[in-house]
Chain A
Amino acid sequence: MLASTVDASLDDTVMQGNLQQNSPSLEMCERLLKLASATGAKLQHCLLTTSGAMANENSLKIAFHNRTPATRVICLDNCFAGRSIALAQLTDRPAYRTGLPKALDVDYILCFIPPIPRERQRARFQL
């Protein structure tokens, strides 16, 4: 991991981001897509973000763009989506929203998760 970190640091001496892409970000996107499709996910595109919350924020924006004029979100009960102002509205923890302005209208539905067979609990992925 140290060697990878050194390589990554040497590749990170300039401003990078959504407007200024770097070669490793292309490689990372392609590797993630390959991994996702190997396990059956029908994911064709990849957007790199800085955190799970930012990934969820961008997912929400894409969903709203695609479902205009929808303004409500359906969430599973007991879900955790993040703690940003928008995601705190989705996360099923009312205490996280104390003092925050309402950002979105959310409806919760019950979530039933069947037990995962023991042999599937040890699935491992290699990057």
Chain B
Amino acid sequence: MLHSQELHADPRVAQAKELLLAALHEHSQRITEVRGPRPELQESYAQMLSRLAVARGGAPYFPYITSGLGNGPFVELADAASNWTLLWESVYMVGT
């Protein structure tokens, strides 16, 4: 067996993957509906959009920066709002 194959077969790797998936599933399940932003994050979110416009040389088509976490059709934005993902055919299946 190759060393890399032994690494992939190491039970600690399987356990680490299980733990990560369980944590991801647990936290993503809390995003269940469309909701508005948290007031305390609105200013920082506006600043992020401004910084993105400067870095890209133009504002994004949608004023939309995700936090990276979602659940089915819902996406958490960086201001804690949650919204529908814009591209339905590209919804990721969390935990599968």
Main secondary structure of the interface of A (DSSP, over half): loop
Question: Are the C-beta atoms of B87 and A20 separated by less than 8 Å?
Answer: yes
Size bin of chain B's contact surface: 20 to 34
Partner of A22, one of B28, B65, B91: B65
Q: A15-B87, A20-B85, A46-B56 are in contact. Are A26 and B92 (CB under 8 A)?
A: no
Question: Are the C-beta atoms of A14 and B70 separated by less than 8 Å?
Answer: yes
Interface string of A67-107 (1 = CB under 8 A from B): 00000000000000000000000000000000000000000
Question: Are the C-beta atoms of B68 and A24 separated by less than 8 Å?
Answer: yes
Question: Are the C-beta atoms of B52 and A21 separated by less than 8 Å?
Answer: yes
Q: Closest residue of chain B to A31, judged by CB?
A: B55
Q: Closest residue of chain B to A8, judged by CB?
A: B68
- Which residues of B does A touch, CB under 8 Å? 20, 24, 28, 48, 51-52, 54-57, 60-62, 64-70, 75, 78, 85-87, 90-92, 94
Kindly state whether residue A60 has any CB partner on chain B within 8 Å.
no
Q: A15-B85, A19-B86 are in contact. Are A10 and B24 (CB under 8 A)?
A: yes
Kindly state whether residue A33 has any CB partner on chain B within 8 Å.
yes
How distant is the Cα of A70 from the Cα of B5 in the complex, in angstroms? Answer: 54
- Which residues of A does B touch, CB under 8 Å? 6, 9-16, 18-24, 26, 29-30, 33, 44-47
How distant is the Cα of A16 from the Cα of B66 in the complex, in angstroms? Answer: 8
